[in-house]
Amino acid sequence: MTATTKDGEALPPAPDIVQIEVGLLQNFCVLLICPETHEAAVVDPAWEVDRLLREASRAGVRITQALITHGHNDHIEGIAELVVHTGARVVVNEREISRVRAVLAGSPAAAAAATTIQTVTDGETVAVGRKGLRVLETPGHTIGGCCFLADGYVITGDVLFVGGCGRTDFQGGDVVQMWQSLQRLTALPEETRVYPGHNYGSTPTSTIGRELLENPYLRCATFEEFKALRERKRKA
């Protein structure tokens, strides 16, 4: 059965997915592959771009896009290097574009930035070859944070972790928006696999159903309970 969004709209066929841990902050990059066209996208190229390129070469695919969940440096530090080596366009929410441009500034990629940055908004489909993902705007950690929803999985960046959720006390963070974004994710089918932006949990991936049972932030019955828990964790 083809998965659907909450409003009943069918999702496009999902790209194959490869999870790669990079850097010293336990970041996860994701390589999305269309096996039919041998095109690929990288989600959040933080560091170790040479390794990402090797993974793509090993898989026999060509990286054509970089999808950005949010604009913190630990998720976009490798964008310029990736663009230089691959010519990939950068796909990002318009409210995060200034962060991307700041990273590109002063690099060889900066000259091509105007043609390599594509802005997306909620509900749009991003094609990866003949496969695709739906953009879900999920602010809270940052003002323009997004998740990418595919048939069977969701890439959650720093919104939802295995056993946790993103901080809301950074610039652009908002605890109300984080609560609302998490509620949106919990409305997805329970079997939806979760691919977070960091390896902070007991396992690299999870499911929405498991997080509903075990994640303390998703077990909160009210916003007030969630806010109090988020504040206690911040002060800990």
Calculate what percentage of the chain has a pLDDT beyond 70. 93
The 10s digit of each residue's pLDDT in 59-86 is 999 999 999 999 999 999 999 999 989 9
Q: What per-residue confidence (pLDDT) applies to 95?
A: 96
Sign of CA dihedral 107, 108, 111, 116: negative
Using CB atoms within 10 Å of the CB of residue 26, give its burial: 0 to 12 exposed, 13 to 18 middle, 19+ buried: middle
Q: How confident is the model at residue 2 (pLDDT cuts 50, 70, 90)?
A: very low
Q: How many residues does the chain have?
A: 236
Domains of the chain in start order, with CATH, are: 16-235 (3.60.15.10)
State if pTM tops 0.75: yes
Q: In angstroms, rounded to a whole number, what is the distance separating the alpha carbons of residues 181 and 203?
A: 22
Q: In angstroms, rounded to a whole number, what is the distance separating the alpha carbons of residues 80 and 232?
A: 37
